[in-house]
Structure 1
Amino acid sequence: MATLVEIVPYDRDWPRLFVEIEKNLRELFGCRVFAIDHVGSTSIPGMPAKPLIDIDITLCGLSDVPAASRALIRSGYQPRGNRYDDDVWAFMLHESGPKQRVYLCPPENETHKRRLVFRNYLRAHEDAAMAYASLKQQLAKQFPYDGDRYTAEKSRFIDEIVNRARAV
């Protein structure tokens, strides 16, 4: 069954919820974690977003992925596979409030680096953030039950922002 692409107004609780989730994840993984980053639209102040917290967990090494995956699954996260074909492993937690999408990333992973570049650029450039918010809302209306198409249609904008940020 197709799921509605739901975009909600920015929630000022998202940063606080991330901090709580991060604490729990650090306890779960211990010394396997190099960094935990709040990524995605909920990490950008004022940005309307899907009501789920996106989190990148950079592990100390690629060899930590199997044990970290098992720990997430034991904690109720559902595995979603290697989404970007670059050793980034996705997991979803639906039962929590809000929902969580966690990505396990090896060190120096390009997908993770791009997410941070994009997030940081939108945090620093309100005009780009407003354009992205408008695009997301337009695409959610255009593809209300096609999350894959919604995501794919954002790719060109994201690529342009990442390229612009890296050119500076």
Structure 2
Amino acid sequence: MNAISIVRPDETWPAQFEKTAQAVRVILGDLAQRIDHIGSTSVPGLPAKDILDMQVTVAAESELDDVVERMVAETWDFRPGAKRDHPVPGLPEDEHHWIKRLVVEPMYRRRVNLHIRVAGRANQRYALLFRDYLRSHPDTAQAYGEFKRRAAALPFDNIGDYADLKDPVCDLIYLPAEEWATRTGWTV
């Protein structure tokens, strides 16, 4: 069984993201439309696994594998089993909205999950809106953090089981985030 460790928030996570994002930008150049800090380490005060989640946004689906090739050439590891995100109730069911690629940091470097998604697709927007909603709603972030701590204490055969448990909880947070985005005029 894999042990999942949720740690206290680290105020240096944003600076660690910036340093890593600069290195990724050098590798990808204009292929990356944007590079964003996403996931729990991007939300101040939120406990998290000590792994930076980052999102590279590309213009077209055909560029997903180009990013993977460039990152692998720089010793990042491609995770072929993570080629799509789970569809979210109420969002487009078309599989193209959920396609992604995932690479992880080179061995012995700062732990990073680099999610590569297409601009304008539901999964690309989801990651950004989820982050911004939690940043704007610290009580929700605190409740989510408590869920993560409790979930991490459960026995899992692999990290994917932990992620599968979290998905519907994230969706429960995301659905009111959509309403918040409409009310506040939030955009990607």
Q: State the TM-score, normalized to the length of structure 2.
A: 0.83
Q: Aligned partners of 1:142, 1:74: CA distance in 2, in Å?
A: 37
SS at match of 1:7: coil
Instruction: Kindly indicate whether the alpha-carbon contact (under 8 Å) linking 1:51 and 1:98 is maintained by their aligned counterparts in 2.
Output: no
The answer as to 2:70 corresponding to 1:58 is: no
Structure 1: where are the runs of 5+ without partners? none
SS at match of 2:52: strand
Match runs of 1:7-156 below 5 Å:
7-81=6-80, 82-84=83-85, 86-93=98-105, 95-143=107-155, 145-156=157-168
Q: Distance in 2 between matches of 1:106 and 1:3?
A: 31
Shift of 1:94: 5.0
Q: Which amino acid aligns with 1:12?
A: E
Range that drifts further, 133-142 or 71-80? 71-80
Deviations 1:111-134 (A, max 9, x none): 121111111111011110010000
RMSD: 1.6
SS of 1:142 mapped into structure 2 = coil
Question: Measured at CA, do residues 44 and 141 of structure 1 come closer, stay the same or move farther in structure 2, by a change above 3 Å?
Answer: same
Amino acid across the alignment from 1:117: L
Identity across aligned pairs (percent)?
Answer: 26
Alpha-carbon distance in structure 2 between the residues aligned to 1:97 and 1:143: 27
Asked if structure 2 preserves the Cα contact closer than 8 Å seen for 1:88 and 1:106, the reply is yes
Q: Is the 8 A contact 1:4 1:145 kept in 2?
A: no
Secondary structure of residue in 2 paired with 1:127: helix
Query: Which letter does structure 2 place at the counterpart of 1:140?
Result: A
TM-score of the pair, normalised by structure 1: 0.92
**Which secondary structure does the structure 2 equivalent of 1:134 belong to?**
helix
Report if the CA contact (8 A) 1:89-1:105 is conserved: yes
CA contact (8 A) 2:100 2:117 kept: yes
Greater displacement, 39-48 / 106-115: 106-115
2:176 is the counterpart of 1:164: yes
In the alignment, the residues of structure 1 paired with residue 157 and residue 44 of structure 2 have an alpha-carbon distance, to the nearest angstrom, of 26
Maintained 8 Å contact 1:5/1:146: no
Deviates more, 1:68-77 or 1:87-96: 87-96
The answer on whether the counterparts of 1:7 and 1:50 sit within 8 Å (CA) in structure 2 is: yes
Residue 33 of structure 2 aligns to a residue whose secondary structure is strand
